[in-house]
Amino acid sequence: MAGSAILVQEIWDEIVDHLALACRAEAMDMEDLKSASLIGRCFVSRPQSHIFRSISVQNMPRVTARVLAERLLDLMSSSPHLIRYVQALQIHSGDSVTLHSVAQIGWSHVYQLTLGGVEAASGSVVLEKLTILVSLSSLRSLVFRIGHWDAALLCNIFARCTTGVKRFTFVHCNPARLSAPFVPSAVPSTLARPTHIFLSASSSMVDLLLDPTCPVDLSGLTHLRCVEFNNQRFNVLLGRVGATLTHLHVIGRHKGLDDVNPALLPALTQLDVYATAPPFSRFLARLPIENRIATVNVHGNFVIDKDFEGVLLGRPMPVLKRVIVQVLEQPPEFEAWMPSPPSAETVHSFQLRLPRLHERGLLSVEFVPFQGGCLV
């Protein structure tokens, strides 16, 4: 590495970033990155920033989450410089021992915290450790995943969140209604005020968010994403947030859309739909004439309903500027046995399927890189 001084650090950074992308694209493990991190001082920092960017603590076939959490604590204690690289922290086992180890680490750059596996009967020790984590000054996104979440516990977590948390995500999170008005064990100085909420198979969260004692201020909500939702009070929620809601993401084939009143959304400027279908067409047909929708995003990996274009153009949409078809690219490992058609061919196919949108200059096609998930 004597010649490394010839290149500035930024160039070495680009080399390692390219190596990291190659590992993901070819479905390789991280051995090359691990080797690079041991080569010399120019390579040490960058590979570690990729390896430690996201950390997950969960029960594995041969080792428990408790053991992994203890190992993580030991590693960060002996190499504290690694702490600054961790931006996403996922804890899928919410027992007190695991949380105790994780909460002892002085996290400084954690942007997103994912919590799962927290039992409804969790005691004060668990809440104490969760409080340390959700009050991190760097935290901006909080994800609640599958688990026996208790409504009172969720409210206590909300009450302890740093005001910097702007994104709440709930995945298969369906607590029972509060049995009594929530009274926080510690009065929050300010309420959590998210701008983004994502509900995935978490219909009962609508009831909790609407509870007058729930310590979440919805007055600044601008983005709402709903997947597999089914709650008769959804219109009540829309009425609560409609004055500020600018982006709504829904599944267009869900019959629950027939119960959604678009008149409650006067500030709406963007609609994202995951799979078009008759319920979504009926939703479009009910839009007020003086709507402000400028962008409609359609996820093109699913069949676009044959009536979609006609309904979209048949309804007055005075400020509509773009209809974007988003195509999620295949995982790299699929390309070997199921190659994707050339991008130009894909674009042309959508132009043929949506000819009037294309002729009016409203249609565009975007390719979204595969990142281990889906568009929703």
335 and 280 part of one domain: yes
What pLDDT does residue 146 have? 82
C-beta neighbour count of 355 within 10 angstroms: 12
Kindly state the tokens that stand for 9: 């650090």
Contact 313, 289 (CB under 8 A): no
What whole-number distance in Å separates Cα of residue 351 and Cα of residue 323?
12
Same domain, 45 and 86: no
pLDDT of residue 351: 93
Residues 314, 218, single domain; the answer is: no
Residues 138 and 78 both lie in one domain: yes
The answer on 74 and 45 residing in a single domain is no
**Whole-number pLDDT of residue 301:** 72
Q: Are residues 159 and 31 in the same domain?
A: no
CB-CB contact of 205 with 199 (8 Å): yes
Report the predicted TM-score, pTM, of the whole model to 2 decimal places. Answer: 0.84
Cα–Cα distance for residue pair 288/265, rounded to 1 Å:
9
* 303 in a structural domain: yes
Q: How many domains does the chain have?
A: 3
pLDDT in 10s for each residue of the chain, 376 residues = 444 444 556 776 777 777 777 666 555 566 666 666 655 555 567 778 888 999 999 888 778 889 999 999 999 999 999 999 999 999 988 788 999 999 999 999 999 999 987 766 567 888 899 999 999 999 999 999 987 788 988 999 999 998 899 999 999 998 888 878 888 766 666 788 999 999 998 989 999 999 999 999 999 999 999 887 777 888 899 999 999 999 999 887 777 788 888 999 999 999 998 878 888 888 888 999 889 999 999 987 777 888 889 989 988 889 999 999 998 887 776 766 667 777 889 899 999 999 999 999 999 999 887 765 444 4
Element containing residue 43 per DSSP (H, E): helix 41-51
Distance in angstroms (rounded) separating the CA atoms of residues 136 and 161: 8
Q: What is the crossing angle of helices 124-134 and 151-160, to 10°?
A: 40
Contact in structure between 72 and 54 (CB atoms under 8 Å): no
The amino acid at 89 = L
Note whether 61 and 25 are same-domain residues: no
pLDDT score at 342: 78
Counted residue by residue, the chain has a size of: 376
pLDDT tens digits, residue range 268-301?
999 998 878 888 888 888 999 889 999 999 987 7
pLDDT of residue 368: 84
List CB contacts of 356: < 8 A, sequence separation 6 or more. 309, 313
pLDDT of residue 2: 43
Pair 62, 47 in one domain: no
Which structural domain, as residue segments, surrounds residue 366? 273-376
Pair (8, 61) in one structural domain: no
Residue 235 and residue 163 share a domain: yes
Of the residues 29, 51, 73, the one at which a domain ends: 51
